[in-house]
Every structure is written in structure tokens, then in C-alpha cells.
């Protein structure tokens, strides 16, 4: 019995030693090309952005000699190159504004989106430099009711390029250019939008129309520096550009990107996204950002092709916090000197707060929701409020979206008459839309969409709008780059 036990122990020991010397296959690990810090030992989806995880390839090959592993000098070079490529890979996935921020977090100006936001854009690698292109166009027919309504064929649109160049391992230079052909497709009056207000045409204030955007909506440069893994800063200059005031502007929010119309509260929340003269400095600590801007308070003039005179007579501050990959929160306040050219003595204090939620729901599915509150405190008029709730659900080729708004607008904003000029009127609007993509995921998404908006106004406004129910109906094509996928990013980096 003892001999049997000793024999068994000896055999087990020898077997264990042989197994220990035998090479063990390394377990495959998986990562996200957008978030290289995410590493799992099984396939699946990135918990931050929902992209499919890809396997991490071995950095070296193994050479066996007498059951002992040796690495050749050539393989060592391959190993070092792989590590270099991985470091470059991580660097190239960063925001063009601040190299410490992930690319998915980059909103309009220097604002933040949730880290899990999808990207509808095309990427090109130019050596170590990165170029991203995105935009949208909405050829459409729109019909707006009431005496102040209109119907027309038009095409709101915009195009943006973002370029970044690394300056060593801890600094980056960025350039952004945003343009719009609205001056051609919309004309000087813009498009019909019931109860919309802001800016002017032929020296008369626009009402019940959304003004066109300038040909050049942003031309900005940034320099960012990373001091530690948790601490970074940046400086941003735009002419035009966007100060640190308000949430990401509507066309850059995932919750609004399928809606062709601007919000009725645009000039309470995010209208400063085209400002001729902006300088911003920001400090980022982990998931919190504090930034301040000096900028031109005057809104763009009626000439949509020129560059307005920079004044740098206004200021703003904003604090942003992304507590989770799915949330982006901000609070901001700004002083705008003489924003309206027709009323040069009127100044404005604007305060905004917003919550943006984004949730990747698996492969090619996403849900985004935004709540925005904005308040204007104008000289002689006092405080007026705006509230917005919008949501967008996308599943493969189909997208459903909605926008709900309540905005307090003065008779002056709505261009009324007599005693009504000084009154404040609560305006309600609810929009519901649907888009189906006929081409999807092949570089350019082209979808056919329809939207219906119903508005509610106080009875006092019937003398201006008539007794008819206020509504807007539009049928449109939505044209934009396809969702940026991991395999496209890998191909671009080859």
C-alpha cells in the first residue's frame, strides 16, 4: 500500500512538472478600439460606448528550442513596435480639443457629450495626425399653419472637420472648421418655424422663422496639455467659435441630430455657437471640467458670408461633470453685451443647465435623451425661462424621436403690437418624428423621414395667428455619415 502511494505521488509529481514546462496557450483578451483601457477576457460589447470588442493580438511570436522559449532580436523589435503602435493608437482616439478626453465626448465648441455617445463621422489618419469629417443635410418640404406660417422646399445643412496633431506624448494641437450652405438653401429670412425668434433680416426682427447660419460657423484652434493622467488643460480660440455657455448646440446632440428644426428655446440655451471672437481656457480633473470664456456678445449680422468684427466684450463660465460614461451634466452663466444689433442698449445675462443621457443598447442601437433649462435676463424685460426635453431612439435602420418645449416669449420677441409688446406669453411645442434609412452603415446613411409638430399658444395671440391650430408638417431626407465602427478605425490606422 505504501509502495502504491509513493508510486502515485512520484507519477503525479513528474506529470505536474511536465505540464508546468509545457507552453500554455495565452487566454485571448478583448478590448475596445475607442476605449483601450477596457479589457475583458471574453468577447462582448464595450460598457462605455457599446462597440463590439476586438481581440488583442499577440505582441510577439514564440520560438521554441528544446522546449525553452527564446525571443529573437527581430521579435523583440516587433514587440517594441507593437507597444509603440498601441501607444499611438491610444493617443489618436482622443478629442481634438483636449487630448485627455475621449473622442466620443467631444461636443460643439468645448462642451462635453456623454462618453458613450455614438459618432456619425469618417476618420482619416495622416501619419500621426487625425482628420474627422461629419455633418448632415435635410432636403425637405415643410408646411407651417396659421397666418404667420409658410410652406417651402429647403435644405438645412452643415459640415464640420476636426484635425489634431500630437506634440509629443502629452500635448496636442487641434483645428476645427464648421461650415453651412444655409445662406444659399435658406436665404436671408431662414425657414418657417412657428413661434421662433431671434436675429434680423432687412433691419427687421425675424419672427416665426429660424434664421440661417453663417457660411463659416466655426474656425478654431486649440492647444491642450496633459500634466498627469488625471489633470489636463486647454486653450481655445475661435473666429468664429463657441464660448463656454450652454449645452452642446442642438445639431451636435445625439438626441436632436435627426430633427431638422432648431429648438424654440435656441436663443435661451445654445445660440452662442456662432460667435465671432472667442477665447476659452479650461481645466479638467478626471470627470470634472471648469472653463471660462471671453467673447463677442453681438450675434451674427445679416451678411452670412462675412466675418463680423470681434469685440471680446462679454464673458461666461461653465462647469461640466460626466459622473458616468452615460451622463453629461453642465451648468453655465454668461453676460452678453448688446447681443441684438437692432437694440444695442439691451444687455443679457444667460443661465443654463442641462443633463444629457446616452445609452448604447447593443449592436447598432442607441437611446439618447437631453433636458435643458435656459434663462435670459434682459435689460428692461426681466427674466424669461425655457425648458426642453428631447429623446432619440435608434435601432438599426429605424429612428424615432421627439422634442417637447415650453418657452416664455415676450411680445417684443414675437413682434406684436401695442400693449402686447410688454407681455410675456408661454409657448408650448411638441414634435414627433420618424426616419427610415434606405442606405445604412456603408459610409453614408440616407433616410426618409417625417415630422409633425403641434403648438399651443394663449388665446390672446389669436389676433396675430388666427383661430387655426398651430402645427408644422415636414417630409425630408436625412443624409449623414454612417456610424463610425471599430473596423473602419482599424483600417484608417493602417
Please state, as a whole number, how many other Cβ atoms lie within 10 Å of the Cβ of residue 14: 10
Distances (CA, A) of 235 to 130, 220, 315: 19, 11, 15
Bridge pairing between strands 157-166 and 365-378: unpaired
pLDDT digits (tens, 9 = 90+) for 100-126: 999 999 999 999 999 999 999 999 999
Q: How far apart are the first and last CA of the chain?
A: 66
Q: How confident is the model at residue 298 (pLDDT cuts 50, 70, 90)?
A: very high
Q: Averaged over 44-65, what is the pLDDT?
A: 57
Task: Give the per-residue pLDDT at 50.
Answer: 56
β-bridge partners, 203: none
In the block, which residue shows the cell 422634442?
A: 403
> Which residues have C-beta within 8 Å of that of residue 257, sequence separation ≥ 6?
120, 136, 251, 392, 480
Task: Give the per-residue pLDDT at 18.
Answer: 37
- Res. 22: pLDDT tops 90: no
Between CA 270 and CA 216 the distance in angstroms is: 17
Q: How confident is the model at residue 434 (pLDDT cuts 50, 70, 90)?
A: very high
Task: Give the per-residue pLDDT at 490.
Answer: 46
**Percentage of residues in the chain with pLDDT exceeding 70?**
83
pLDDT digits (tens, 9 = 90+) for 202-256: 999 999 999 999 999 999 999 999 999 999 999 999 999 999 999 999 999 999 9
Please state, as a whole number, how many other Cβ atoms lie within 10 Å of the Cβ of residue 470: 23
Q: Averaged over 431-445, what is the pLDDT?
A: 96
Rounded to two decimals, what is the model's pTM?
0.83
Q: Which of 188-197, 253-262, 270-279, 485-494 has the weakest average pLDDT?
A: 485-494
* Segment (H or E) for 18: helix 2-21
Between CA 8 and CA 386 the distance in angstroms is: 81
Amino acid at each position: 500500500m505504501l509502495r502504491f502511494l509513493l508510486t502515485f505521488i512520484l507519477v503525479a509529481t513528474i506529470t505536474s512538472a511536465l505540464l508546468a514546462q509545457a507552453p500554455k496557450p495565452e487566454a485571448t483578451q478583448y478590448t475596445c478600439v475607442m476605449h483601450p483601457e477596457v479589457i475583458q477576457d471574453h468577447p462582448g460589447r464595450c460598457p462605455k460606448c457599446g462597440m463590439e470588442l476586438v481581440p488583442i493580438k499577440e505582441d510577439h511570436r514564440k520560438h521554441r528550442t528544446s522546449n525553452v522559449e527564446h525571443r529573437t532580436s527581430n521579435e523583440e523589435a516587433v514587440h517594441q513596435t507593437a507597444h509603440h503602435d498601441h501607444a499611438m493608437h491610444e493617443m489618436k482616439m482622443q478629442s481634438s480639443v483636449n487630448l485627455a478626453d475621449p473622442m466620443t465626448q467631444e461636443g460643439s465648441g468645448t462642451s462635453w457629450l456623454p462618453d458613450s455617445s455614438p459618432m456619425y463621422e469618417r476618420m482619416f489618419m495622416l501619419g500621426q495626425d487625425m482628420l474627422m469629417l461629419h455633418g448632415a443635410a435635410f432636403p425637405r418640404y415643410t408646411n407651417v399653419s396659421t397666418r404667420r406660417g409658410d410652406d417651402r422646399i429647403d435644405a438645412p445643412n452643415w459640415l464640420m472637420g476636426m484635425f489634431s496633431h500630437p506634440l509629443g506624448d502629452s500635448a496636442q494641437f487641434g483645428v476645427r472648421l464648421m461650415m453651412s450652405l444655409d445662406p444659399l438653401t435658406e436665404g436671408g429670412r431662414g425657414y418657417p418655424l412657428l413661434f421662433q425668434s431671434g436675429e434680423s433680416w432687412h433691419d427687421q426682427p425675424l419672427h416665426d422663422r429660424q434664421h440661417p447660419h453663417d457660411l463659416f460657423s466655426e474656425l478654431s484652434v486649440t492647444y491642450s496639455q496633459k500634466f498627469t493622467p488625471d489633470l489636463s488643460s486647454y486653450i481655445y480660440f475661435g473666429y468664429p467659435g463657441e464660448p463656454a455657455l450652454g449645452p452642446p448646440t442642438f445639431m451636435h446632440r445625439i438626441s436632436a441630430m435627426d430633427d431638422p428644426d432648431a429648438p424654440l428655446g435656441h436663443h435661451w440655451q445654445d445660440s452662442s455657437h456662432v460667435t465671432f471672437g472667442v477665447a476659452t481656457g479650461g481645466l479638467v480633473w478626471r470627470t470634472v471640467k471648469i472653463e471660462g470664456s471671453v467673447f463677442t456678445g453681438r450675434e451674427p449680422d445679416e451678411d452670412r458670408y462675412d466675418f463680423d468684427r470681434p469685440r471680446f466684450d462679454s464673458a461666461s463660465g461653465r462647469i461640466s461633470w460626466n459622473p458616468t460614461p452615460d451622463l453629461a451634466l453642465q451648468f453655465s452663466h454668461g453676460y452678453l453685451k448688446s447681443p441684438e444689433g437692432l437694440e444695442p442698449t439691451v444687455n443679457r445675462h444667460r443661465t443654463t443647465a442641462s443633463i444629457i443621457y446616452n445609452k448604447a443598447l447593443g449592436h447598432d442601437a442607441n437611446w439618447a435623451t437631453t433636458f435643458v433649462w435656459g434663462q435670459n435676463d434682459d435689460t428692461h424685460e426681466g427674466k424669461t425661462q425655457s425648458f426642453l426635453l428631447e429623446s432619440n431612439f435608434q435601432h438599426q435602420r429605424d429612428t424615432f424621436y421627439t422634442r417637447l418645449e415650453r418657452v416664455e416669449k415676450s411680445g417684443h420677441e414675437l413682434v406684436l403690437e401695442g400693449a402686447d409688446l410688454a407681455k410675456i406669453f408661454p409657448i408650448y411645442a411638441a414634435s414627433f418624428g420618424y426616419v427610415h434609412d434606405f442606405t445604412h452603415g456603408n459610409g453614408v446613411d440616407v433616410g426618409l423621414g417625417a415630422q409633425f409638430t403641434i403648438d399651443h399658444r394663449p388665446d390672446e395671440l389669436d389676433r396675430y395667428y388666427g383661430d387655426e391650430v398651430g402645427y408644422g408638417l415636414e417630409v425630408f431626407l436625412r443624409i449623414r455619415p454612417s456610424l463610425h465602427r471599430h473596423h473602419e478605425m482599424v483600417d484608417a490606422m493602417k
